[in-house]
A and B are shown apart, each in its own frame.
Chain A
Amino acid sequence: METSHSHHLETHSDSYLVKIKPEIKLISFFAIILSIAFLSLENNVLILLQALIVAGLLIISKLQPKTYLKRLSIDIPFILFALFLPFISKGNGEILTTLFSLSIYKTGVDEMISILIKITLCVTLAIVLTATTSNIEIIYGLQILKVSPLLISIFSFAIRYIDVFIDEVKRVKISMRSRGYSEKGLRTLKPLAFASGALLIRGYERGERVYNSMISRGFRGTLELEARQFNSSNLILLISIFSVVICIVDRLAL
């Protein structure tokens, strides 16, 4: 039984962001994401400042442009959704223009721009965070921040068993192909559905076995990670405070 080490997002660079305490990173990034989400987009200078903060963090992360762009593709569904908004979000009914007899509403266009800007900036921050912080460090950071132990357990199990699950999926697929199965046409969906069902049951049974193995070692509801060594950083906190201030200024100006 070989494990595949399915993709891990950490890029193992020597960036300044890699070495700082994960709890500080988590809080700072969360604050920046919130201040971007609550930005009104009335003032272009403030938008530009937020974008500069995000771009700065992206540069500091030393992430390869190609990797960044590939990971950015995760926001394609949001972009597709946003592209529909000018046609369906009427707001006060003000029509900018018409395209092939479809009306394009001003409110819809504003909302589209808002979503495109905010989503791209927030997804970029998530990419920078995951590229510079390993899964374990994120869990460790959440533990320091006193996030519910139940959530931390769920998160750490998901990370631990995703590889095991992906391996199982791969083995099932190989065994299907070795018996002449190919994923073409509607008819091939039925065996796929059965295979998914089998994997689901297997996952459930594994859950039960893992739990048994935990209670046999005295588990009473909390997982505790060992302390880890990181650098402290005030710079990232300052950046996040700056971002929050931008948001507050923006809101007060309205």
Chain B
Amino acid sequence: MNKQYLNVNNLSFEYPDGFKALENINLSLSKGERLAVLGPNGAGKTTLILHLNGILGDLNGQITLNEKPFSDENISQIRKSVGLVFQDPDDQLFMPTVLEDVMFGPKNFGFSDELVKKNSIKALEQVKMLQFKDKPPHHLSFGQKRKVAIASVLASEPELLVLDEPSSNLDPASRRELIDILKNLEVSVILVTHDLPMALEICNRSIILNDGKITADDETYRILKNEKVMSDNRLELPFGFALHHLEE
């Protein structure tokens, strides 16, 4: 069977003000797997994914990626392997032009000049934003910014792509484009979202995070079908959305 690529063991985290954001999280992900992280607001979803990049510092618990523990020596390699796409693309795009923004990551990770350029152009092509490469990011629409933010992470050739609510604030057409892009990527994906139909379409497996704890870990379809699990975790399918056609 698939070897586990990402392992999170007994991860707990408390913010400096005493708020317990994560409690005893155990999670594993195999290579190529797509996992949705569902849960109500304030459940600790964003905190969890920041940990996957070693951003919040000292770990209480253990995370390994490709059997390598998160340590000071490994952190650069881990950040290269785990591409984080933030919720607000304005937080992620700060260089003067779209292309320079996409090149920011691979340059920092020490790619050769030639590879930096090649990867960045390829990443922009993947998200269909190459024609905007010389534009300043703040002149783009929200949906375009989100696509550039994804390209800016893809250019570093991540093995695991972690996205924080990528479909929020997108119009239906932009959302559809985004889903198509994500479905065509050959990397592992962790998708934090409130968009349950999107989770169902992209991810075979889901976990529910509530109050800092994992309260469900199952196939996405089975979680969405379980009314008790859904209501206990403040989740609800959109009005008019039916699962029965997916039975069996």
Contact = CB atoms under 8 A, between A and B. Distances in A.
B69 to A, nearest CB: 18
B125 interface: no
A246 to B, nearest CB: 36
B74 interface: no
Interface string A148-191: 00000000110111011000000000000000000000000000
B96 A139 contact: yes
B96 A215 contact: no
Contact of A225 (B76, B96, B142, B153): B96
B80 interface: yes
Interface in A185-226: 206, 209-210, 212-220, 223-226
A1 B146 CA distance: 12
Chain B interface residue number, banded: 20 to 34
B127 interface: no
A146 interface: no
B97 interface: yes
A216 B94 contact: no
B50 A212 contact: yes
Contacts of A214: 94, 104
B153 to A, nearest CB: 7
Nearest to B50: A212
Nearest to B103: A226
Nearest to B153: A217
A162 to B, nearest CB: 9
Nearest to B142: A1
Of the listed residues B50, B91, B100, the one surrounded by the most CB atoms of chain A closer than 10 A to its CB is B91
B55 A212 contact: yes
A44 interface: no
Nearest to A223: B95
A112 B217 CA distance: 76
B55 A216 contact: yes
B156 interface: yes
A5 interface: yes
B86 A1 contact: no
Q: Determine which residue in B80, B84, B94, B169 has the highest number of CB atoms from chain A within 10 A of its CB, and name it.
A: B94
Q: Kindly name the residue among A3, A5, A135, A214 whose own CB sees the greatest number of chain B CB atoms within 10 A.
A: A3
Contact of B88 (A136, A139, A209): A209
B156 A213 contact: no
Interface string B126-155: 000000000011110010000000001100
B105 A218 contact: yes
A218 B97 contact: no
A2 to B, nearest CB: 8
Interface of B: 50, 53, 55, 76, 79-80, 82, 84, 86, 88, 90-92, 94-97, 99-100, 103-105, 107-109, 136-139, 142, 152-153, 156, 169
Interface of A: 1, 3, 5, 135-136, 139, 156-157, 159-161, 163-164, 206, 209-210, 212-220, 223-226
Given A1-B142, A223-B104, A226-B103, 15 more contacts: A136-B97, A156-B94, A160-B96, A163-B138, A209-B86, A210-B92, A213-B84, A214-B104, A215-B79, A217-B153, A218-B76, A218-B108, A218-B109, A223-B95, A224-B107
12 contacts: A136-B96, A164-B138, A206-B91, A209-B91, A210-B94, A212-B55, A216-B53, A217-B79, A218-B80, A223-B104, A225-B96, A226-B97
